Amino acid sequence: MQVSDKTREEINSKSFSLTTRKALVGLDGFVDKIVAPVEKRHGLGDQFDPVPTIAEMGAKISAAAGKSANIELYPRFEKLGGNGPIMANAMLSLGMNVRYIGALGSPSVNPVFKEFAQQTKAISLCEPGITTALEFKDGKVMLGNTLSLENIDYAKMISQCGEGEFFELLSQSDLVSIVNWTMIPKMTGLLIDLLDKVLPNLPPRDTRNFFFDLADPAKRSDSDINEVLQVISRFQAHAEVTLGLNYNEGLQVCEVLGLKSGNKDENDLKSMATEIRRKLGISTLVLHPVESAACATKDGVWWSPGPYCENPKITTGAGDHFNAGFCSARLSGFSPLTSLALATCTSGHYVRTAQSPSPAQVIELLKANI
C-alpha cells in the first residue's frame, strides 16, 4: 500500500479528534443473519467446505432449472445490520457522538439493537428488515425482507421524534448521514420534505455536512435513481454534500446520468468520480471498489489503494465502515487523500476481525501497510 508524503506527514502530526463532533444517522435497520452456503459436508456443525464464489453458487442454482436443488445455509451468526446502524456503530468506535433514527423495532427495540440503541439514544420508527447474507470469498449476496421499511416517511419520523426534537437534532449535527435509499421506498419523498420543510428553518452552521449512500440501487428504475440524484444535489444549497458509491453503484449512476464509465484502475476511477461530482454539483464524490478508492472535490481528485484482504472474516458492512472512516477523517480535518487511506483501513480492520476499529487500530493498520 503506497501513500503520499503528505499522508505520512498528516498521520504523524494529526489524530482522529471527534469528541466535540456530533452525527445524526438513519434511517434503516436490519437483523443480519450471516450464513455460508454448504458445498460438501464432512461432519456435524461447521465441518464442511463452503461454496467459495458467487459464480459457483450461481452455477448450482442454474443447474437446478427444471429440476430442484437443496442448498444448506449454515448460520454463522446474527448481528446488528443495515447500512445506517453499521455505519453509526463504526462511528461510535471511532469516537463520534452519534444519535440514530431508524427501523430498530416496534413497539420495543429488537434485542440485537439493544446496546446500540442505548449508546445512540436511538429513536425507532418501525420493525427492522431481515437480511440473509450469503458470504463468499469474492463478495456477498444479500437476500432482504424490507416490507416493514415501507412505514418510513417524513410524517412517521416527526410523529416518533417530535418536531421540536427532530429540528434540534438536525441543527446541532455536524454530520447528517442518510443511507440505504434503495430499501426505503418513500425515501425520496422524505428527502424532499427535509428540503422544503426543515432545512430552510435551521440556523446556519459552518460545519454542517450531509452524507448519502444509495446502497445498490440495481432494483430501482433509472427514473427513480435520476430523481433521487437530483434531490441529493439540492442539499448542496444548505450544506456540504458527499455521495458515497461502491464500484457497481458508480457504474449505475454513470449510466443514469449519461456519463462514461470505466474500469477499476486509478485513472478510470478518478475520471468517474470527477464527472459524477460535476454533473451533480455537490462538494464531494467518493468511489470505492474493494481494492482502492477515489475522491473528487472542487479542488481536485485523489486515489488511494487499500490494504487488500484475500480471505476476509466478514464482508457484510465493509462499505459502511469505509463510509464511517471517510466521514470521520474529514470531520477530523484530514485531507481527502489521507481520508481515503484512513477509510480503506477502517474497512480493512473490520473485514479482518469482524470488529469495528478504534482510531488507534486504524492508524496501526495504515502504518503497517505503508
Residue 114's pLDDT is: 96
Contacts for 96 with CB less than 8 Å, ≥ 6 apart: 18, 21, 22, 23, 175, 328, 331
- pTM for the structure as a whole: 0.89
Q: CA Rg, the chain, in Å?
A: 20
pLDDT in tens, 157-204: 999 999 999 999 999 999 999 999 999 999 999 999 999 999 999 998
Question: Cis peptide before 269, with omega less than 30 degrees from 0?
Answer: no
Distance CA 100, CA 85 (A): 8
Domain spans, the chain: 5-36+78-369
- Retrieve residue 322's grid coordinates: 469505509
Nearest to 228 by CA among 201, 208, 256, 199: 256
What count of other Cβ atoms lies within 10 Å of the Cβ of residue 53? 13
Scan for cell 428527502, then name that residue.
Answer: 191
Residue 23's pLDDT is: 97
Distance CA 145, CA 337 (A): 37
pLDDT in tens, 15-40: 777 888 999 999 999 998 989 999 99
Residue 47, helix vs strand vs coil: coil
Q: Is 349 buried (19+), middle (13-18) or exposed (0-12) by CB count in 10 A?
A: buried
For residues 31 and 110, the answer to whether their CB atoms sit within 8 Å is yes
HSE-CB of 248 using CA atoms within 13 angstroms = 9
Residue 1's pLDDT is: 61
Distance CA 370, CA 295 (A): 20
CATH number belonging to domain 5-36+78-369: 3.40.1190.20
Scan for cell 444479500, then name that residue.
Answer: 142
Give per-10-residue mean pLDDT for the chain (370 aa): 72 78 96 93 96 96 94 92 96 96 96 96 97 89 93 96 95 97 97 97 90 95 98 97 97 98 96 98 96 96 88 87 97 94 95 93 84
- Retrieve residue 352's grid coordinates: 479482518
Residue 118, helix vs strand vs coil: helix
User: To 10 degrees, what angle do helices 266-280 and 222-234 make?
Assistant: 70
156-193 core/surface letters (b: 16 or more CB in 10 A; e: else)? ebbebbeeeebbebbeebbbbbbbbbbbbbbbbebbeb
Residue 265's pLDDT is: 95
For residues 112 and 11, the answer to whether their CB atoms sit within 8 Å is no
